[in-house]
Amino acid sequence: MENETISVILPVRNGEKWIGACLESILAQTYDRFEVLVLDDHSQDGTRDIVEALCRKDGRIRLLQPEKRGVSCARNLGLEEAKGAYVTFVDADDWLDPGIFALWRKILHESGGDMVLCGHAMCTDNGPKKAEPFGLSAHDGENISAKEYLSRYLLHGNSHCWGILYRRPVIGSVRFRENLTIGEDLMFLVDLLPALRRVSVTDACGYYYRINQSGAMLCPFLPAYMNEMESWRLAAERIQKDYPELYGRVSAILAVSAVLTAGKLALLSRKERRRYGDFVRVCQQTVREALKTAGARKELPKGYGIKTALVKRCPKLYMSLYHAWKLAGK
């Protein structure tokens, strides 16, 4: 392959606190054939100034602004503009090990994989918190099938698009679903499954994910949080068609997602919970429908048999108990 460039797609919005360190970790890569597409989603802080200064320093960085708002729109613009033979996604508050591009490329050349996953570490502002290598028994250059990738990774919580180097052709026309603000990573990866012949895996920790207390998954309930259930519902439909033997597991995950969403709603005041009564009913109905799937109950994590039963039969009681338990723990 003559074009060995890696296209780095980096969406950012009001990221002045971290964007400089993130970009510097990319510029420090030992493999230097890359381009960085920074997609600034209408930042109102000093993000653009920082990026523009780095653009003047290094011509491999390009600053673009999507017409619409949202991370999916930004990443899709990046995919349209990318010129490399490979693509990777990086979030603006994260950073990379300086040798990860070289390792990814080496593994793909040797394995013939369509994409390669690396390990990652969850970090606080004070540095790495703990290492979390991908998978259950991954090794450098291990090749697995699309079904194994789905079973061992996507359905085990590793449903983020970052920490992966993709061959550009495998992405093809697949794009992020712009109507999802949570779970868009999952659906992008599920939509890639039909094109995957083999996936390579390395335990090497190359990606550092910053635990952001203002991130969507750690915020109090917002209506957009319902997208988490919607993304798993869409994933379940796709998996039922192509991998029916895994439908029970993904249905169990959908039920758990509904319980977790009900938990977010439970943290609201009683008045706010009444205002979101329709969302509570969606959680209840989602659990009911998901648990009708053969084998779904067996796939529920420990403790979720009782939780799903409560949300299914009496969601208001579950939310009242959860609310009281959380308050008691403060």
Look at residues 13, 71, 65, 69 and name the one whose alpha carbon lies nearest to residue 44: 13
Q: What is the DSSP string of 241-283?
A: HH-GGGHHHHHHHHHHHHHHHHHHHHTS-HHHHHHTHHHHHHH
Task: Report the alpha-carbon distance of residue 308 to residue 73 in Å, rounded.
Answer: 34
Q: Which token pair is 323?
A: 């609310």
CB-based contact 276:221 (threshold 8 Å): yes
CA distances from 264 to 112, 220, 306, 318 (A): 43, 7, 18, 12
Q: What is the average pLDDT across 257-271?
A: 92
pLDDT (tens digit per residue) in 23-65: 999 999 999 999 999 999 999 999 999 999 999 999 999 999 9
Task: Report the alpha-carbon distance of residue 304 to residue 296 in Å, rounded.
Answer: 11
Amino acid at 142: E
Q: What's the pLDDT score for residue 128?
A: 55
Q: What's the pLDDT score for residue 138?
A: 39
Stronger pLDDT, 114 or 328, i.e. the higher one: 114
Task: Report the alpha-carbon distance of residue 321 to residue 267 in Å, rounded.
Answer: 10
Q: What percent of the chain has pLDDT over 70?
A: 91
Q: Which token pair is 306?
A: 């009782």
Cα dihedral 215, 217, 222, 226 in deg (nearest 10): 140
Look at residues 128, 134, 109, 283 and name the one whose alpha carbon lies nearest to residue 204: 134
Q: For the beta carbon of residue 55, count every other beta carbon within 10 angstroms.
A: 17
Question: Max Cα separation, the chain?
Answer: 62
pLDDT(130) > 60: no
pLDDT(217) > 90: no
Q: What's the pLDDT score for residue 136?
A: 34
pLDDT(127) > 70: no
The runs of H, that is alpha helices, within the chain are 19-27, 47-57, 71-81, 100-111, 146-152, 168-171, 184-192, 227-242, 247-266, 270-275, 277-290, 304-313, 315-328
| CA 99 and chain centroid, separation | 22
Q: What are the domain boundaries of the chain?
A: 6-210, 220-325
162-166, 216-220, 325-329: range with lowest mean pLDDT = 216-220
Task: Report the alpha-carbon distance of residue 129 to residue 135 in Å, rounded.
Answer: 18
pLDDT (tens digit per residue) in 236-261: 999 999 999 999 999 999 999 999 99
12-21, 126-135, 181-190: range with lowest mean pLDDT = 126-135
Relative to beta strand 164-167, strand 86-89 is: antiparallel
Relative to beta strand 115-124, strand 164-167 is: antiparallel
pLDDT (tens digit per residue) in 134-182: 443 334 568 999 999 999 999 998 999 999 999 999 999 999 999 998 9
CATH 3.90.550.10 fits 6-210, yes or no: yes
| CA 136 and chain centroid, separation | 19
Stronger pLDDT, 140 or 230, i.e. the higher one: 230
Q: What's the pLDDT score for residue 137?
A: 37
| Mean pLDDT across the chain | 91
| CA 140 and chain centroid, separation | 22
Q: What's the pLDDT score for residue 219?
A: 58
Given pLDDT bands bounded at 50, 70 and 90, which one contains residue 213? low
Look at residues 132, 122, 106, 101 and name the one whose alpha carbon lies nearest to residue 200: 106
Tokens 């550092």 locate to 208
Amino acid at 213: Q
Q: What is the average pLDDT across 274-300?
A: 95
